[in-house]
Amino acid sequence: MISPKSRQLKTLNNIENDQNLQSGTAAANSTTTPFLPDNVIEQILSFLPIKLVTQATTVSKRWADLWPSLPIIDFDEGDPTNPDDPAKHQRFIRFLRNCLERCEKQTLVDKFRLRMRYHGVGEDEDIVDDWIVFAILTCVKEFDLCLVRGGEFRDVWTTDLNEDVDRLYLIPQRIFSSNCLTSLKLENVSYFSRATGTPISLPSLKTMSLKHVECDEKDGDHRALPRLISGCPSLEHLSLNQCNFGLSTLSLKISSFSLKSLEIMDCHSLDLVVETINLVSFKLVSEYSYPYHYDLTLMNCDKLKHLRISSVGLKKLSLLSCCCRMENSIFTPNLVSVLFSGRVKAKVHFVEAPSNLLDAKIGVCFEKRQSTFNYYSDLKAFLESFNCAREVEISIRDVEPAVSYIAPSCANSLN
Q: Provide DSSP, 14-56.
A: HHHHHHHHHHHHHHHHHHSPPP--HHHHHHHHHTS-HHHHHHH
Strands (E), 150-265: 169-170, 183-190, 207-214, 237-241, 251-255, 261-265
Q: For 139-184, how does the pLDDT look when each residue is reduced to its tens digit (9 = 90+)?
A: 999 999 999 876 543 333 333 434 444 578 999 888 999 999 999 9
**Which neighbouring-strand residues pair with 359?**
337, 391
What's the pLDDT score for residue 160? 40
What's the CA gap between 126 and 93, in Å, rounded? 10
Q: What is the DSSP letter of 244?
A: B
Q: What is the DSSP letter of 335?
A: -
What's the CA gap between 204 and 200, in Å, rounded? 12
**Which neighbouring-strand residues pair with 118?**
149
Entry pTM: 0.78
Type of residue numbered 376: Y
What's the pLDDT score for residue 357? 92
Rounded to 10 deg, the angle between the 86-102 and 123-137 helix axes is: 30
Domain ranges of the chain: 272-415
What's the pLDDT score for residue 3? 55
What's the pLDDT score for residue 15? 41
Residues 6+ apart with CB under 8 A from 381: 344, 347
What's the pLDDT score for residue 406? 40
What's the CA gap between 157 and 172, in Å, rounded? 24
Please say whether the dihedral angle defined by the alpha carbons of residues 62, 67, 68 and 71, taken in this order, is positive or negative: positive
Distances (CA, A) of 334 to 249, 290, 316, 382: 19, 10, 9, 21
What's the CA gap between 357 and 5, in Å, rounded? 115
Length of the chain: 415
What's the CA gap between 115 and 57, in Å, rounded? 23
What's the pLDDT score for residue 384? 87
Residues 6+ apart with CB under 8 A from 291: 248, 249, 270, 313
Listed as ranges, residues in the chain with pLDDT below 70 are 1-69, 79-85, 150-166, 193-198, 216-222, 246-250, 289-293, 367-370, 398-415
The per-residue b/e assignment along 49-71, b for 16 or more CB within 10 angstroms, e otherwise, is ebeebbebbeeeeebeebbbebe
Q: What are phi and psi of 69, to 5 degrees?
A: -95, 10
Q: For 321-342, how does the pLDDT look when each residue is reduced to its tens digit (9 = 90+)?
A: 888 888 999 999 999 999 999 8
What's the CA gap between 270 and 252, in Å, rounded? 8
Query: What's CA 271's distance to the chain center, in Å?
Result: 23
Are 156 and 86 spatial neighbours (Cβ–Cβ below 8 Å)?
yes
What's the pLDDT score for residue 403? 43
Q: What are phi and psi of 254, to 5 degrees?
A: -115, 115
What's the pLDDT score for residue 404? 41
